[in-house]
Structure 1
Amino acid sequence: MGPEGKTLLNIIILGFGFMFMFTAFQTCGNIEQTVIKSFNSTEFHGSGYTSMAIIYGVFSASNLIAPSVVAVIGPQLSMFFSGLVYSGYIAMFIHPFTWSFYTASVVVGIAAAILWTAQGNLLTINSTDATIGRNSGIFWALLQFSLFFGNMYIYFAWHGHVHISDNDRQTVFISLTVISLVGSFLFFLIQKPEPEATPSEASESLLQTESTESASIVKALQLSVTKEMLLLSISIAYTGLELTFYSGVYGTCIGAMTQFGDDAKSLIGLSGIFIGLGEILGGGVFGMLNKCNRFGRNPVVLLGLITHFVAFYLIFLNIASDAPIAPEEGTHLQAYITPRYTVALLCSFLLGLGDSCFNTQLLSIVGFMFREDSASAFAVFKFVQSITAALAFFYSNYLLLHWQLLIMVVVGFLGTLSFFVAEWVVVSSRRDTDFDSI
């Protein structure tokens, strides 16, 4: 197999490893608040929302140390050990204790930063300028399929279950732990794309990496206060808020709707599948549109905003206001219309589609604007997104559904306007460059 074939195989293995790991972890995030409410135990007083807030808060702060860890032990071992931590977090639900739940949340936050830094590093060293777009697309597609398989399993495993028993919970989380471990061990199949450096070269490159690390932190801080990044940060903050909503809160709301009958809990899995459909369709279509980007990025972002506003309005009508914080037996409050699970699943699809509109265009504009400092720019991107996701998971413990939707409507509207201005800056600078070159 030639070098090109070997690097492509590495990307495919990387994608499958992440698909297995996130089949387990995203399914865990989708169902954990519902599971915790069903877990009647005097010694356990945890909240799935608070756990996710801790994970994203620690994740954002750990982005500062993650590159040093990857430089010291290499991307392959970084991903393997991070994967083991993810598996440990999932396994903890087999019999949760409050202390183990929150401790695992902190450790997963650190592991997440190391995992994604290593993933970016591995994707880069296995790609050239010509193949980075294709390889990113392959990785994204395989990762998004993780939304299908775990949620499909939940749909069939919990079909007709009004209450999630200890046996139901243990069966699901033992299965998810095994799936996550398979993903971690797949990383060992990734081969080095080029011969290893000699010890002296390796230590020299490590010193360079460490000195660059402190420089990259400074660079990230400088970038975070530039006009362009401040404009984009409102849109990025919005993706953090709606990430929280579709990945943790909305599934909990559906599971709490007693009007959906005995299928309410299994619909959480079906909702995750429809979110995945929206993500994959949007990622595929708008990823390809970037190549023939005649109208710019603004129409795609506007489509994302309209899609989300339609979803939020339908959710407001279809789901009871106390659903995010309802007790284990669910909510008995009446929504504004007779709740229909078909409308709930349509909203899941729209949430996924709108999310992919915003994310594909943000990744595109950040990569274009900060081509020379892409690593620092994406570190700022992840930092802002993680902080707002942590904040949203925290307030999800307390706020009724309509207040959560209102926050997203306001930030989404402001974020879209600021994105339009940022895109206008890009178009203007491109015109100036073209004019100067004439």
Structure 2
Amino acid sequence: MDRAFLNVMSLSWGFMLVFTAFQTMGNIEKTVLNSISDEFEDFHGNAYVSLAIIYAVFATCNWLAPSYISVTGPRIAILTGACCYVLFIASFFWPHDALLYTMSAIVGIGAALMWTGHGQYLTENSDNETMSRNAGIFWAIFQTSQFAGNLFVFFIFTKSKIDKEQRTIVFSVLTGLAVVGAGVLLVLRKSPQKLLLGEAEGVSNADKELRLPEPRREKPLLAAWNAFVDAIRLFLTSNMLLLSLTFIYTGLELTFYSGVYSSSIGFVKALGEDRKKLVGLSGIFIGVGEVVGGAVFGILASKISRKCGGWPVILTGLTVHLFAFISIFLNLPNDASFKDTDNVGYIETSKFLALAGSLALGFGDACYNTQVYSLLGVLFANESASAFALFKFCQSVAAAISFSYSTEVGLYVQLAVLLVAIFIGTGAFCYVEYKVKKSKNESSQEIDPALVDATSGED
């Protein structure tokens, strides 16, 4: 097992532990804050507002994250971000409106540093042949975070009303997990030095490299400024502008599966007295879909991409998500995203169909994210920090907007927005991949110089 692969594994498990805490908290935040509001009249914290702040700050700071990383390197950026997540989760011990929203802003800053650093670190430890595999492995391990936390919630939330004792136990365990995850990320090792084209031992080895450039030796402020300028320049390229449509869809569906859908299940009284337990169980099924999707496409990625690229995986995600949207529309009432409701959907409300929707949301999300990671890591290897920052910028802007309107519009309007966005985003991804492959086949000289000279790893 080479050093680069060990680095990918350490990165994956560290993220898994931190996000076991954070994703579980995001999944139950609406339900938990509603229970706190019932006990404390002076607390009016809104989960959707909190999540909107997180993603709005996340989006803004993505423009600055490459500058920070150009000075500190990806490992320090990842660790800094992990510490922000620890602080956010710990803040729930002291319910206060101002503290909730302040820590939401802080975790938004941490998210930008952590995810942009992760993109560069993953790219530094991959080559053309292993980028798809490493992206799939990372996603599969990372999304096991959906299991432990939500399984824990499933057994803790045994009452129709969540009390202080239950909340304290959940917050303690999740904060502890986040601290352990930060500890794992603290010991990330330096990436192995990439071979330069002229120094590679044989042409075959050189062709595998993502050919990362030698880091520029500049003063910190100049390096930070150049990284910011590079991010703007990359964003204005035609391929990145088109891919931003795909990124936006991933942000919209991220909002839906991480903050809206599971809580909606818990609000439907037709699902019985144990419906609050279904909030955790829904998160588990989303995680099952994520892990299965990541594992399958991590194993099969190189074979699929070598023959036809990433579009079959993307179309699989499209099909699975369409099933999820239709089943949710039929199964849950429109006002399920707001509070406990006696209403029902167009068919008799079913626990099994609700959990099938969770599974489909997770699997489809894995389809989109593994292919986006792989595409960015290969095509923009020379500018990986900027590319991943722009991906997270578009995704988090969409998520922030989505969380904002989630406080006002019902479940059906949200599903309609997702339905439009999925076709636009899928079409944009497939078109960019087709255009790049066609351009390379016609003449390698005509490829956009911002893109790396990729081989069969383009997907």
TM-score normalised by L of structure 1: 0.89
The one of 290, 294, 298 equivalent to 1:283 is 294
Unpaired runs of at least 5, structure 2: 194-214, 447-459
Q: Is the 8 A contact 1:20 1:146 kept in 2?
A: yes
Per-residue displacement from partner, 1:344-391 (whole Å, max 9, x unpaired)? 010001111111122222233334443443332222211111100111
Question: Residue 109 of structure 1 corresponds to which residue in structure 2?
Answer: 108
Q: Is the 8 A contact 2:18 2:178 kept in 1?
A: yes
Q: In the alignment, is residue 243 of structure 1 matched against residue 254 of structure 2?
A: yes
Tell me the amino acid that sits aligned with residue 221 of structure 1: I
Distance 2:329 2:179 in 1: 39
Per-residue displacement from partner, 1:101-148 (whole Å, max 9, x unpaired)? 000001111111122233334445555666555544443332111111
SS of residue in 2 equivalent to 1:207: coil
Question: Residue 167 of structure 1 corresponds to which residue in structure 2?
Answer: 165
Distance 2:259 2:380 in 1: 32
| Count of aligned pairs | 422
- Displacement after TM superposition at 1:61 (Å): 1.1
Tell me the amino acid that sits aligned with residue 18 of structure 1: F
* Of 95-104 and 135-144, the range deviating more from structure 2: 135-144
* Of 221-230 and 303-312, the range deviating more from structure 2: 221-230
Question: Residue 456 of structure 2 corresponds to which residue in structure 1?
Answer: none
Q: Is the 8 A contact 2:268 2:344 kept in 1?
A: no
Distance 1:421 1:235 in 2: 11
Q: Is the 8 A contact 2:154 2:279 kept in 1?
A: yes
Distance 1:181 1:140 in 2: 21
Q: How does 1:223-372 map to 2 (within 5 A)?
A: 223-292=234-303, 293=305, 294-326=307-339, 330-372=340-382
- Displacement after TM superposition at 1:412 (Å): 1.0
Per-residue displacement from partner, 1:280-329 (whole Å, max 9, x unpaired)? 22222233443122233333222211211111111011111101112xxx
Q: Is the 8 A contact 1:72 1:206 kept in 2?
A: no
SS of residue in 2 equivalent to 1:44: coil
Instruction: Indicate how the Cα distance of structure 1 residues 186 and 423 shifts in structure 2: closer, same or farther if over 3 A, else same.
Output: closer
SS of residue in 1 equivalent to 2:273: helix
Distance 2:316 2:186 in 1: 41
Q: Kindly report the root-mean-square deviation, in angstroms, between the aligned alpha carbons of the 2 structures.
A: 2.6
Q: How does 1:38-49 map to 2 (within 5 A)?
A: 38-39=35-36, 40=38, 41-49=40-48
Distance 1:269 1:377 in 2: 34
Distance 1:375 1:193 in 2: 14
Q: Is the 8 A contact 2:136 2:297 kept in 1?
A: no
Q: Is the 8 A contact 1:71 1:206 kept in 2?
A: no
Instruction: Indicate how the Cα distance of structure 1 residues 231 and 414 shifts in structure 2: closer, same or farther if over 3 A, else same.
Output: same
* Misfit runs of 4+, over 6 Å: none
- Displacement after TM superposition at 1:221 (Å): 1.9
- Identity, % of aligned positions: 43
Q: Is the 8 A contact 2:63 2:390 kept in 1?
A: no
Instruction: Indicate how the Cα distance of structure 1 residues 301 and 209 shifts in structure 2: closer, same or farther if over 3 A, else same.
Output: farther
Q: In the alignment, is residue 141 of structure 1 matched against residue 140 of structure 2?
A: yes
Distance 2:140 2:265 in 1: 26
TM-score normalised by L of structure 2: 0.85
- Displacement after TM superposition at 1:232 (Å): 1.8
Tell me the amino acid that sits aligned with residue 171 of structure 2: F
SS of residue in 2 equivalent to 1:399: coil
* Of 359-368 and 174-183, the range deviating more from structure 2: 359-368
Q: Is the 8 A contact 1:58 1:110 kept in 2?
A: yes
Question: Residue 17 of structure 2 corresponds to which residue in structure 1?
Answer: 20
Question: Residue 438 of structure 2 corresponds to which residue in structure 1?
Answer: 428
Instruction: Indicate how the Cα distance of structure 1 residues 59 and 173 shifts in structure 2: closer, same or farther if over 3 A, else same.
Output: same
Q: Is the 8 A contact 2:243 2:428 kept in 1?
A: yes
Distance 1:13 1:227 in 2: 35
Instruction: Indicate how the Cα distance of structure 1 residues 153 and 124 shifts in structure 2: closer, same or farther if over 3 A, else same.
Output: same
Q: In the alignment, is residue 412 of structure 1 matched against residue 422 of structure 2?
A: yes
Instruction: Indicate how the Cα distance of structure 1 residues 353 and 24 shifts in structure 2: closer, same or farther if over 3 A, else same.
Output: same
Distance 1:106 1:362 in 2: 26
Per-residue displacement from partner, 1:259-300 (whole Å, max 9, x unpaired)? 111221111111111111111222222334431222333332
Q: Is the 8 A contact 2:4 2:126 kept in 1?
A: yes
* Of 369-378 and 305-314, the range deviating more from structure 2: 369-378
- Displacement after TM superposition at 1:162 (Å): 0.4
Q: Is the 8 A contact 2:31 2:263 kept in 1?
A: yes
- Displacement after TM superposition at 1:63 (Å): 1.8
Q: Is the 8 A contact 2:66 2:228 kept in 1?
A: no
Instruction: Indicate how the Cα distance of structure 1 residues 12 and 413 shifts in structure 2: closer, same or farther if over 3 A, else same.
Output: closer
SS of residue in 2 equivalent to 1:251: helix
* Of 265-274 and 10-19, the range deviating more from structure 2: 10-19
